[in-house]
Copies of this chain bind each other. A is one copy, B any other.
Amino acid sequence: MNVTIIGLGLIGGSIAIELRKAGFASKIVGVDKDPASGETALLIGLVDELASLQDSIERADLIIVAIPVDAARLEIPIILDAIMEHAVVVDMGSTKHGLAKVVSGHEKRSNLVLSHPIAGTENTGPSAAVEGLFLNKVAIICGKEMSSDIALKLVEGLYETLGMRVIYMDSKEHDLHIAYVSHLSHISSFTLGKTVLEIEKNEKNIFDLAGSGFESTVRLAKSSSSMWAPILEQNSEVISVALGTYIDNLKEFKSLIDSKDKEGLTRLMDQANDVRRVLDGIE
């Protein structure tokens, strides 16, 4: 199978590593609008060759789109226009509802699978690609009824090759749940990073004291703004409500601290402790 990966960053590059390891593709063609990223991807062996978007999609059996969500919304209709009759396109972005609406009337809509592999790191670019990124994680396929059985089967096979468990959601539902769990975490972390850099003037202290929990909590604040600004824009309504609740809860926390209400603080932290049970997955 001839596979084209559009966007040779963390996700696209890490997929390339797994597909090559599994012998999933006879050839992996890479497309990236940044020539330097393309060259790096070629140099470190992620892809077999580089091509232009138009040239690559005309001969691809499977086209994996792993680019920022604003670009995906613009490019995917154009990609669908140009693919072969049997080709399958799969999108990897972190927002789905707007894209689903944009492509809903496209005559090749059934060639497209909207999906979201729930995996990542704070790093970007082809050199951030790593083996095992997707192993035992979850991939979401959205609006499966809009995709052909053949397209679905191919994408399910792709995720199986990556070692992922597939779950299914409506696009709107996806954007809601991912706002709660992923997007809010990123905002919390970005803002923690910005705040600590503002109030702690001595950078050496941040470095020395980072082992106290800061390092892990702020990890996501290293994420790329060119990936995240369009996500936050596209999913702004849902994120805004979730962020409002987060701010209200922080105000409550602050008021308990101001009144030195140890009982209230204990109650609140005990509630938060319940994430341990939820993340352990014990029913």
Interface membership of A2, Cβ < 8 A:
no
Chain B residue nearest in CB terms to A218: B275
- The reply to whether A225 and B258 form a contact with Cβ atoms under 8 Å apart is no
> Within the assembled complex, what's the spacing in Å between the Cα atoms of A210 and B186?
12
* Bound form: Cα–Cα A236–B258 in Å: 6
CB pair A245–B206 under 8 Å, yes or no, is no
Among A186, A192, A232, A271, chain B packs the most CB atoms within 10 A around the CB of A192
Contacts of A181 in B (CB 8 A): 196, 200, 205-206, 209-210, 212, 214
Q: Residues 264-275 of chain A: 1 if any B CB is under 8 Å from the residue's CB, otherwise 0?
A: 011011111111
Interface residue A150 (Cβ < 8 Å from any Cβ of B):
no
Residues in B whose Cβ lies below 8 Å from that of A84? none
User: Which of the candidate stretches A10-18, A21-29, A246-254 sits at the interface with the other chain?
Assistant: A246-254
> Which residue of B has the minimal Cβ distance to A205?
B177
Query: Closest CB-CB distance, A150 to chain B, in whole Å?
Result: 26
Interface size class of A (residues with CB under 8 A): 35 or more
CB distance from A236 to the nearest CB of B (A): 5
- Whether the Cβ atoms of B278 and A207 lie closer than 8 Å is yes
Please, how many angstroms separate the alpha-carbon atoms of A263 and B60 in the complex? 35
Do residues B265 and A254 form an inter-chain contact, with CB atoms below 8 A?
no
Interface residues in A166-222 (C-beta closer than 8 Å to B): 167, 177-178, 180-182, 184-200, 202-203, 205-222
Give the shortest distance, in Å, between A43 (CB) and chain B (any CB): 24
Q: Is A143 an interface residue (CB 8 A)?
A: no
Do A195 and B273 touch (CB < 8 A)?
no
Given A214-B185, A275-B222, also A195-B138 (CB < 8 A): no
